[in-house]
Amino acid sequence: MDWLFALIMVWNSLTAAADAEAKAEALRLEQALRLETAYYAENTAPAVLGEAFALMPETVHQGDAVFVRSQEGGELSWNGKVYKLEPFGTGYYALLPVPTDLKPGTYKLGGKPLTVKAKTFETDRLTVTKEQQSMWQNTERINADQKKINKARSSSAPAPYYKEPFVVPTEGRLSTPYGYTRYVNGVFNGSHRAIDLAAPTGTPVKATNAGKVVLAEELYLTGNSIYIDHGLNLFSQYAHLSKLSVKPGDEVRVGDVIGEVGSTGFSTGPHLHFTFWIGNDPTNPDLFFGKTPFRWAAK
Ligand SMILES: [Zn+2]
């Protein structure tokens, strides 16, 4: 009965291989779950990770953002754009912008209701010299810069560089909050979708969180500017700096000094113009300070 013995041997080795594969898969899952859970607040991780589709948070204001976790990969349609869900840990993630002018109401997102609440944005009136005002007419330079900026924000790491909460990038007085409707010399200049922190020239500017520098150079309107990719399509922007201390490709940690406050470009005094971008859409910095999008689930 040699053939039977041989068959049993083959069978045993096959089941052992399958067993080893199953064990390796279980270990891989466990490690991915550990990695992912570490990004959450202890009390929210089980609820979010147990859901097929989770919105963090489920209620937002105009100008905010929403972080999505899905058990399945693919794409999400939101407000006329398509967003890719990136694999991270045991789930798939996407960060979605909520424009300042999005109509308040309840929207369906991946079968879940997302409530968008209205927000009042104040008006900011700025008086500048004729010379400064004329800067906005140089559309050739403005458009050339925009191309560079869009290119820098065209790709992002598929996993977050950060784990710690985001920090306020400089010590200063909040001179213009997020979302102010701005008039320059009485002319509508759009919505100021950033915060301005007034501080003396030379005040250190820190990286709001870990990431990779994707742009660090002098631009026409925003002066010496830095963009940092934080992964998952999130970028931070620092403008009007007097000094740049990083270059494209540099990896930074949270709180690393990347430059100094200044008044370069279109600016009326030393301040840091700071904001976050989800791809090419700006989003409210206040959502990030002291947190990360993984912590937006906490009520
Ligand atoms: Zn500003």
CATH code, 64: 2.60.40
Query: What is the model's pTM?
Result: 0.90
The rounded Å distance from CA 60 to ligand 1 centre is 23
**Dihedral class, residue 54 (left if φ above 0, else alpha if ψ from -120 to 50, else beta):** beta
The rounded Å distance from CA 181 to ligand 1 centre is 11
Residue 112 sits in the same domain as residue 129: no
The rounded Å distance from CA 19 to ligand 1 centre is 59
Residue 212 sits in the same domain as residue 88: no
The CATH number of the domain where 144 resides is what?
2.70.70.10
Confidence (pLDDT) at 3: 67
Q: Which residues line ion ligand 1, judged by CB < 5 Å?
A: 194, 196, 273
Residue 219 sits in the same domain as residue 290: yes
Mean pLDDT of 117-131: 87
The rounded Å distance from CA 222 to ligand 1 centre is 9
Residue 101 sits in the same domain as residue 131: no
What are the helix (H) ranges across 135-221? 139-152
Residue at 167: amino acid letter: V
The rounded Å distance from CA 192 to ligand 1 centre is 6
Of all residues in the chain, what percent carry a pLDDT higher than 70? Answer: 98
Which candidate, 32, 51, 53, 49, places its Cα nearest to that of 41? Answer: 49
Confidence (pLDDT) at 113: 95
Confidence (pLDDT) at 18: 83
pLDDT in tens, 221-266: 999 999 999 999 999 999 999 999 999 999 999 999 999 999 999 8
Q: Is 127 helix (H, G, I), strand (E, B) or coil?
A: coil
Domain that includes residue 234, residue range: 123-295
Domain count of the fold of the chain: 3
The rounded Å distance from CA 30 to ligand 1 centre is 45
pLDDT in tens, 281-298: 999 999 999 999 999 986
pLDDT in tens, 53-78: 999 999 999 999 999 999 999 999 99
The rounded Å distance from CA 81 to ligand 1 centre is 27
Confidence (pLDDT) at 251: 98
